[in-house]
Structure 1
C-alpha cells in the first residue's frame, strides 16, 4: 500500500493539524509500505540547522520513528519547505526526491510533483521560485543568523498571503498547457500533485490519449490524501 499526502503546512500555530499528523504517522501510515509527501510538509523551513527547535524536533522524531518501524517515507519539497536538505533526511530517515518523479502503479506510470510549476500563469510566483531555488540565493540566505531567517520567512509568508488576495483563482491554478506538457515529458498516464488546495480528479485528453490528474487536499486538522491499495487509487481522511 502507498499513501500520498501534501500541504500539511505544519506550524506551531496549527496544533490540531500537528496532532493529526503525529497520530497518522503512528497509526494509519504504518499500514502502508510507502508514504509520499508531495511538498509543504512545513509552513516554512528556515534551514536544517533549525532541527533542534522543539517543534521541528517533535516532527523529526515522529518521522524517524515511523521510518525505523519500516515505513519508507519519500518527500518532494514544496514552495514553502524547499530548504529541507540532507541533514533533515539523515535525522528522519526519509528520502528526498527531486521532481518530477515517476513511479509505477499497477500497469500505469504516475508522475509525482508538488504542483507549483504547473501554475504557469502566475508569472510573478515563478520568478520568485526561480530566485529562491538558485543555489547562490540559498547560500546567502542560509548564511544569515537563524533569527533573521525566521523573520524573513515570516515576512515572505505574510506577503504570500497578501498577494493571493490580488490574484484570480485561474492564475493560482494549474495551466492546462503546463499539465499537458508534464504528461508528454514524463510519458505518464497518471499525475498526482498538491499545491493548489483544490482536491479533485480530472480526466483530460493529451494528444488523443486519456490522462488522469489527481490533486491532493491540504490538511485542515485531519489526515487526508490518496491511497493506492495495489489496484486502485482512493481518497482517505481521518486517522
Structure 2
C-alpha cells in the first residue's frame, strides 16, 4: 500500500470518527430536549387541570384545628419546607401536590439533579404543599399525604419520605393517599420514620390546617397549576427548552 493511500485511509477514519462523535453529541442534546419538552408538555396539561381545580373545584377543609407548622418550616407564615443549606446562593421554590401526575413527572426527571445540587450546597429548595387534586376530583389524599410529609419533616426525614410518596403515587383518580394506614406503611420505607410520634401525627392530622393554609397561599399567589417551579422567582417550566442539565447550568452560573 502506498504511503499516500495509507494517509488517505487514516484521514477517512478520522473523519468518520469525528462524524460519529458529532452525531452522538447531537443525539444526546436531542434526547435532553425531548425529555425537557415532554416534561413541559405534561406540565402544560397540568396547568389546565390546575386552573379547573383552582377555579371550580371545592375541597372540603378538614383542617379546622390550630395551624401547626412542621418543625423547621420557614418563610411567610412558615409555609415553606426547606431542603438544602441556608447559605445556598440559589433558591428553587416548588409548589406541588402529591396526587398530581405532572408533579411525579417533574420529580422523576429532575430529582437526581436537585439532590446533587442541594447536597453540594449550591441550591436550596423550598417546598410548598397544595391540594388541587382534592378539589378537582374529590377526596382527601392530597391533604393526608401533605400532612404525612409535614410529619416526616418533624422527624427530619422530609426529603426521603417526599421521594417515597412520588415513587408510590397512585393513579390520579385513586384517592389511596386518603388512607392513613397506607401512608404509615410507606413510612416503613424510610429508615427510622415509622415511630409512635409519626403515627400519631399522621392519624391526628396534626398539620392539616397548615396544609390548608398553604393551599390558600397557592391560590392567593395566582398560580395556575402544579407543579409550579420558580428559580429565584422565575417560572422555569415556561421555558420549553428547560432540562435538568440546563437547570444545573443556571444554578452553577449563579454561583460565580
- TM-score, scaled relative to structure 2: 0.26
Q: Compare the two structures and name the one with the higher helix fraction.
A: 2
Q: Compare the two structures and name the one with the higher strand fraction.
A: 1
- TM-score, scaled relative to structure 1: 0.27
Quick one: higher RCO (CA 8 Å, sep 6+), 1 or 2?
2
Larger Rg: 2
